[in-house]
Amino acid sequence: MKFGLVSDIHGNLPALEEVLDEFERRHIGTIICCGDIIGYGPWPNECAMLVRDRKMIAVRGNHDTLIVGDSEIEEFSSNARKAGLWTRDQLLPETREFLASLPLPTQFENFAITHASFRDPLWEYIFDRRVAYHNFHVLETEIGFFGHSHIPTIFQWNGGDVLGGQIVDDFELLCEPSERYLINPGSVGQPRDGDWRASCMIVAAQNGAWQVQIRRLEYSVEETREEM
């Protein structure tokens, strides 16, 4: 089993297309998306339809949830609220229907997926080991995939102290069978770790072992900026 892992696309089509091209070059067909497909970027419909048409295993993020809803977007910062209201006005009915159909946290046999957190509050950030520790206690699988922070991160835990944190380019990890992991691929469309390149991960599972590799990909940032 081999799959691509993405999160926080945020309507950035050139970044998403570069990531999908990378997965195609590596013959990866299955893709997991940890939410926030829309918000900020100028291509919400195109990105949502790509996620749908590629049959990604996706969950709904906080931007997806609030923008698709009819309530006031009060939980966002002023810039995010402005972008959210603009995005809401651009959504096609089929985009709105698709995003509304996505689940919140969802669980499979060996892994679970959420956008932000596996516990209440659902939209909390798993930035540090303390919050990761509390999430490990509610996680019912070996691995939990999440996003929301826009920073590639891996935490690991075997019942004692939580280890790990932010990771950098060219990082690879062979997961230990006795450990549990929380894994964030970073952001495709709006990284917040000082590296502008689109962030994604490639995950391979075989005979109970998981191997994780981060990929940082250059794309036409100028094209996105011109459309903002």
| 177 cis-preceded (ω within 30 degrees of 0) | no
What confidence tier does 1 reach under pLDDT thresholds 50, 70, 90? confident
Query: Which CATH code for domain 2-227?
Result: 3.60.21.10
Average pLDDT over residues 71-89: 83
Of 72, 21, 10, give the one whose Cα is nearest residue 44.
Answer: 10
Distance, in Å, from the CA atom of 201 to the CA atom of 187, rounded to the nearest integer, reads 10
Asked if the model's pLDDT at residue 70 lies above 80, the reply is no
Name the strand (E) or helix (H) holding 129: helix 129-138
What confidence tier does 47 reach under pLDDT thresholds 50, 70, 90? very high
Backbone CA torsion sign across 96, 87, 126, 1: positive
Distance, in Å, from the CA atom of 208 to the CA atom of 106, rounded to the nearest integer, reads 21
Structure confidence by residue, pLDDT tens digits, 158-198: 999 999 999 987 799 999 988 999 999 999 999 999 999 99
Enter the tokens of residue 64: 């997806």
What confidence tier does 214 reach under pLDDT thresholds 50, 70, 90? very high
Query: If you average pLDDT over every residue of the chain, what do you get?
Result: 95
Asked if the model's pLDDT at residue 74 lies above 80, the reply is no
User: What pLDDT does 11 receive?
Assistant: 98
User: What pLDDT does 92 receive?
Assistant: 98
Distance, in Å, from the CA atom of 175 to the CA atom of 111, rounded to the nearest integer, reads 13
The DSSP secondary-structure symbol of 208 reads: T
| 121 cis-preceded (ω within 30 degrees of 0) | yes
What confidence tier does 72 reach under pLDDT thresholds 50, 70, 90? low
Average pLDDT over residues 112-119: 98
What confidence tier does 96 reach under pLDDT thresholds 50, 70, 90? very high
